[in-house]
């Protein structure tokens, strides 16, 4: 039986969680409501009840000839999915190499990767732009995807997860059984790393989906722009053609894929809680 103080603490904890849940969902509710209202209705102020312009706003966004929204969604999906896949796989592979192998430059390599993590993107933006221009990749999606191969933050997360969940004895046992290194990594390490990969895939996907700085730097053609660039383009439209309903609808369309990815990958996170392995 719980004591009176324990019941009070439990009640307070539930109240705090309800408040936090309300604060998180309220703004999303506002977005959905505003996406159903017209520009004139939005100018009058906030309303708790939805309007009747959802289909009209959606049609205006899709049929806008100056802003290829469907193409922008496709570009964002390609970039985000490729970044999530490449980043998580190669970061896990790098972490596996530094965790399992004991070589002379192991600590300097780890220190070098950690030093890169504190370097902001804006510092190297000019050099990055000159590099991709010389390589003929300017105004393409490749500069948005290829740099995700090297992600120090994801590497560090994978390395820390391996330290707590991947026994070296398991890798050594696979080697004794004649398994190759890549076969061991792909068939033994990757299943153990599924929770960490799922978490970082979500974060990487969301980061690439919401990325504005790099696409604005390297993309010029409208048919290659990602969704954040198109939203900014619509926001900067002439006042006479400015439509808040279309902007809220585009933001809503930008959030839906993120929710779908989270729902799809969250099952791997939950399954990872009960994931077992050989302990040293």
- Residue 245 banded pLDDT, cuts 50, 70, 90: confident
Listed by start position, the domains of the chain span 4-53, 61-273
Out of 96-105, 123-132, 233-242, pick the least confident. Answer: 233-242
Residue 217: name the closest of 206, 225, 209, 207 by CA: 225
Spatial neighbors of 12 by CB under 8 A, at least 6 apart, are none
Amino acid 35: pLDDT: 87
Measured CA to CA, the distance from residue 277 to residue 191 in angstroms comes to 10
Amino acid 235: pLDDT: 63
Question: 128-150 as b/e, with b when 16 or more CB fall inside 10 Å?
Answer: beeebeeeeebeebebbbebbee
Handedness of CA 242, 244, 248, 251 (dihedral sign): positive
The model carries a pTM of 0.81
Top-confidence residue, 31 or 269: 31
Measured CA to CA, the distance from residue 189 to residue 166 in angstroms comes to 8
Kindly report the CATH number that applies to the domain delimited by 61-273.
1.10.3720.10
> What are the tokens at 67?
């802003």
Q: Mean pLDDT in the chain?
A: 83
Express each pLDDT in 27-53 by its tens digit: 888 888 888 888 888 888 777 888 888
- Residue 80 banded pLDDT, cuts 50, 70, 90: very high
Q: Counting Cβ atoms within 10 Å, is residue 192 exposed (0-12), middle (13-18) or buried (19+)? A: buried
Strand, coil or helix: what is 96?
Answer: helix
Measured CA to CA, the distance from residue 184 to residue 178 in angstroms comes to 10
- Residue 128 banded pLDDT, cuts 50, 70, 90: confident
């Amino acid at each position: 039986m719980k004591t009176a103080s324990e019941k009070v603490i439990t009640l307070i904890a539930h109240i705090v969680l309800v408040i936090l849940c309300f604060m998180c969902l309220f703004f999303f509710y506002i977005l959905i409501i505003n996406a159903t209202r017209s520009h004139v209705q939005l100018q009058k102020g906030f309303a708790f009840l939805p309007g009747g312009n959802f289909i009209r706003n959606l049609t205006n966004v899709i049929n806008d000839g100056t802003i290829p929204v469907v193409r922008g969604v496709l570009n964002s999906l390609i970039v985000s999915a490729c970044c999530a896949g490449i980043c998580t796989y190669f970061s896990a592979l790098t972490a596996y190499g530094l965790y399992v192998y004991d070589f002379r430059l192991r600590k300097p390599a780890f220190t070098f990767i950690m030093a890169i993590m504190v370097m902001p993107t804006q510092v190297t933006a000019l050099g990055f732009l000159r590099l991709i221009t010389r390589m003929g990749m300017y105004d393409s999606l490749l500069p948005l995807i290829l740099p995700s191969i090297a992600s120090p933050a994801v590497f560090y997360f994978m390395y820390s997860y391996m330290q707590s969940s991947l026994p070296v004895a398991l890798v050594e046992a696979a080697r004794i059984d004649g398994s190759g290194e890549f076969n061991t990594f792909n068939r033994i390490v990757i299943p153990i790393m599924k929770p960490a990969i799922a978490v970082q895939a979500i974060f990487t996907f969301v980061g690439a989906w919401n990325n504005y700085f790099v696409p604005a730097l390297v993309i010029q053609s409208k048919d290659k722009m990602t969704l954040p660039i198109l939203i900014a383009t619509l926001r900067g439209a002439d006042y006479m053609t400015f439509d808040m309903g279309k902007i809220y609808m585009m933001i809503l369309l930008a959030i839906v894929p993120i929710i779908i990815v989270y729902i799809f990958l969250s099952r791997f996170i939950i399954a990872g809680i009960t994931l077992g392995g050989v302990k040293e």
